[in-house]
Structure 1
Amino acid sequence: MRSKRYGRIVASEARKTTAFANMGRALRSRNYRLFFMGQGLSLIGTWITRVATSWLVYRLTGSALLLGTVSFAGQIPTFLLAPFAGVVVDRTNRHRVLVVTQVLAMIQSALLAFFALTHLITVWHILVLQVFQGLINAFDTPGRQAFVVEMVESREDLSNAIALNASMVNAARLLGPSIAGVLIALVGEGWCFSLDALSYVAVIASLLAMRLAPREAPKKHAKFVSDLGEGFRYVAGSAPIRALLVLLAVVSFSGMPYTVLMPIFASKVLGGGPHTLGLMMGAVGVGAIGGVLWLASRSSVRGLGRVIVAGGYTFGLGLIAFSLSRSLWLSVPLLALCGAGMMLTMASSNTLLQTLSEENMRGRVMSFYTMAFFGMVPFGSLAAGAISDRFGAPTAVRVGGVVTLAVVTLFFRNLPALRKEVRPIYVRLGILPQPENETTAYGK
């Protein structure tokens, strides 16, 4: 009896060791390791700027509607241009695209810093520079997502690299707002923007230091629009890809805009200031990091459909509970729950999209991912700002939580049909060894 118990303990410890080893396996690839370090530093600066921009807009205007409008201005170019950017990413050198976008993003942050430090900044300056950043992101996001597969040396490490990317973003989400809260209180928003501009040096240096194998030249078409149409047909013709993109689009529209309303919750609902805002945004990051570290420890993409459903329900219920809270110490753990649910849904969907996509279509598929996950946020931010102005920020967040629950339920009901569509693809890729195996990427 004692030996059986000892055997179970040894087996449990072995599983924990294996899971821990799985968490960082993509870092064995030199190029991905460089990217991870450089992008990690840069993203901290990005989150500092996001929080500082929201606080600056609210300080200058006191308007929830303008908070939503500024967010809309920064993200609508991504929605409009992402399909065209996807074609560019598939046609050109993805590494070169990223170098250009990072240099332009550094210039955008430097301009924000200049106007803020010289006390010339107005909401119009912020709006114009947000549009500029949106144009950059339209090309940067699909380029970065599609470039991941070129940085990892083994395709088996792709899901781990995507999870590590998400953990990197959310570690920055944790650190950036906390740093921003301190800097805003001590020296003002201008120095936040300056620090962000400086942080881009790290990611640019990491990109330039990479050693990349020659990539097979993509097929050239006579007309740009033919590639664009091919991307639309590919996405529309794949039920699993289509279902994932619809889910992401609705969740992004209804659920994600809660972050835009955070300054209102920090100041009016919870009676705090910049430090409170930093603590709340940091809580979202803590939850999200927990979610993606668990994803990174998984050795297979199978079962991710159930993870998406669980994450979506957690996110929706967390938003509803957060909208009802009037205590900071209750709101903080609820925001951590929201962060975990949101990231489980997003990172799992990203992994499935990249795995299901053919190599020559990946840039275009990820451009639709960009439209769905990032491009719908401005419309949701505008709607949330309008609802908040009319009925209050808690009501806007609560409505978003209810809509999120509804679309996740619809996705859950469609899982059996989606499994049948995914099975032959995964058999072809070697993820499922035999056609009769009933385990798929979406679950059992």
Structure 2
Amino acid sequence: MLFNMLKGKNFRNFFFSDIIQGFGVGMSTIGANWYVLDQTGSATAVGFLLALNVLAGFLCFPLVGTLTDRFNRKQVILWAHVLRGTLIFTISLFFIIDGFNMVYIYLFTIINGIGWTIYMSASRSLTQEILTKNELVHGNSLIEISLQVGMFLAGAVSGILYKHYGFEFILFMNATAFLLSSFFLLRVSYRTKIDVKEKEESFIKNFKGGIDYLKSKPKLFLFGVISIIPLTTTMVFNVILPGYVQDLLQADSVVFGISDMFYGIGGLLSGFLASLIVKKLTKPRTITLFFSLATVIMLSLGFHHYVIWLFLGSMLIGLSNSTIRIHMNALLMDVVEEKYMGRSMSVWMGISLLLQSGLAYGVGLLIDHSHAGIGFILMSGIMLIGLILFIFVHHSMSKRDRKENFVTSSQV
């Protein structure tokens, strides 16, 4: 059973820690997007904010990957949580004292971008260390559930909290969430598997070793690139949603928050359904199915503007993106060597962040000159590219490649 994995103390504490930090991140991200749109009336400003968020993460990704592979991954997350929570709490005080100021918003965004990049690289590497290979699909399903429960709760309350208490209160709650998440993470105990020889190498040489590892396995590298496409479209979704709700649906922050909540519900469902679906369909067919579903739903949202359809569409997009991530992450964790996992994840995250940065600002400009529906059409196109790339890579592999789960190098 899926939830039997929570009987183990280590994974159970990591699971609760992940839910709480996801709640904090989701709540502040939703709140910041609506706050900026509320104060400026510009989708371009929202897009620039998210572009800055991912650009900050992109610029630090080489350091993050090496940091994750050289040091205890739990300690990396703990220090990042404490520092992030302290800085965000300080920024909330600035807002209370000085009022709205885009400089403070930019500072928050930079901190959020760097912190998220560190967390994604270190937490997924930590997961690989505390799970066995036989637990990877169930483990990744539960990780997706934990992330989406956090986002679901954030979507449910952020619009209401913003409407009644303001963005400053949301920031305070965000800082508190990181500290509470750290409490559960402290209770995770395991024996770290860091390569002592690599730990003694320079950061540059260490990072280059990770790049060389991926260069020797081009199919694995491309598969990792395909795996970050759903994450990229999720960022674009966050740019589109405020303007879509405000301009096309003529609704308020509560509808905005509920829309995000339905995305979280879809992601939550994927965590429960992933292990059941794979019993009926092969992994390639599952990935193909959900890439196709997301493409169609996003295209439909671009042309049909109804509140109820946005709620349903958000749920189906969350279901599709999360299901793709669960199966592709399980595959990557199975085949990437543990000592290279942090650097491999940081390379793929870096590519994702670079794409997100350009798309976030570009989509914001496009929406200001057209309408928010065009953003969903663009999202549909991105998912279609992911579907085509996946089919191409899968069919170009030999039977031996498939048997060895894409781990073979270019020598095959």
TM-score, normalised on structure 1?
A: 0.85
Please, which of 109, 112, 127 is the counterpart of residue 148 of structure 1?
127
Residue range with higher mean Cα deviation, 285-294 or 238-247: 238-247
What displacement does 1:252 show?
4.5
Structure 1 distance, partners of 2:296, 2:190, is 44
Please, which of 154, 161, 172 is the counterpart of residue 150 of structure 2?
172
Q: Which runs of 5+ in 2 are unaligned?
A: none
Aligned to 1:437: none
Equivalent AA in structure 2 for residue 398 of structure 1: I
TM-score, normalised on structure 2?
A: 0.91
Aligned to 1:264: 243
What displacement does 1:118 show?
2.9
Measured against aligned partners, the alpha-carbon deviations of 1:273-310 in whole angstroms (never above 9, x if no partner) come to 01110111111111111122211446889932222222
Measured against aligned partners, the alpha-carbon deviations of 1:197-221 in whole angstroms (never above 9, x if no partner) come to 1122221111222222253543235
* Structure 1 residues 122-161: aligned runs within 5 Å: 122-152=101-131, 154-161=132-139
Structure 2 distance, partners of 1:420, 1:238, is 16
Q: Does structure 2 retain, via aligned residues, the 8 Å contact 1:49–1:192? A: yes
* Structure 1 residues 423-442: aligned runs within 5 Å: 423=402, 425=404
Equivalent AA in structure 2 for residue 346 of structure 1: R
Is residue 2:212 matched to residue 1:230? no
Q: Does structure 1 retain, via aligned residues, the 8 Å contact 2:141–2:272? A: yes
Count of residue pairs the alignment pairs up: 407
Q: Does structure 1 retain, via aligned residues, the 8 Å contact 2:241–2:256? A: yes
Is residue 2:274 matched to residue 1:295? yes
Q: Does structure 1 retain, via aligned residues, the 8 Å contact 2:129–2:192? A: no
Structure 2 distance, partners of 1:111, 1:307, is 45
Q: Which runs of 5+ in 1 are unaligned?
A: 1-20, 430-444
Measured against aligned partners, the alpha-carbon deviations of 1:124-159 in whole angstroms (never above 9, x if no partner) come to 21112211222223322211110002233x331122
What displacement does 1:365 show?
1.3
Q: Does structure 2 retain, via aligned residues, the 8 Å contact 1:254–1:399? A: no
Structure 2 distance, partners of 1:89, 1:64, is 35
Structure 2 distance, partners of 1:247, 1:299, is 19
* Structure 1 residues 80-159: aligned runs within 5 Å: 80-152=59-131, 154-159=132-137
Equivalent AA in structure 1 for residue 345 of structure 2: M
Aligned to 2:169: 191
Q: Does structure 1 retain, via aligned residues, the 8 Å contact 2:159–2:253? A: yes
Is residue 2:182 matched to residue 1:204? yes
Equivalent AA in structure 2 for residue 345 of structure 1: I
Q: Does structure 2 retain, via aligned residues, the 8 Å contact 1:185–1:274? A: yes
Residue range with higher mean Cα deviation, 264-273 or 420-429: 420-429
What displacement does 1:179 show?
0.5
Aligned to 1:336: 315
Aligned to 1:442: none
Aligned to 2:140: 162
Equivalent AA in structure 2 for residue 94 of structure 1: R
Aligned to 1:218: 196
What displacement does 1:250 show?
4.7
| SS at structure 2 position matched to 1:121 | coil
Is residue 2:383 matched to residue 1:411? no
What displacement does 1:243 show?
2.2
Structure showing greater radius of gyration is: 1
Residue range with higher mean Cα deviation, 298-307 or 330-339: 298-307
Higher relative contact order (CA 8 A, sep 6+): 2
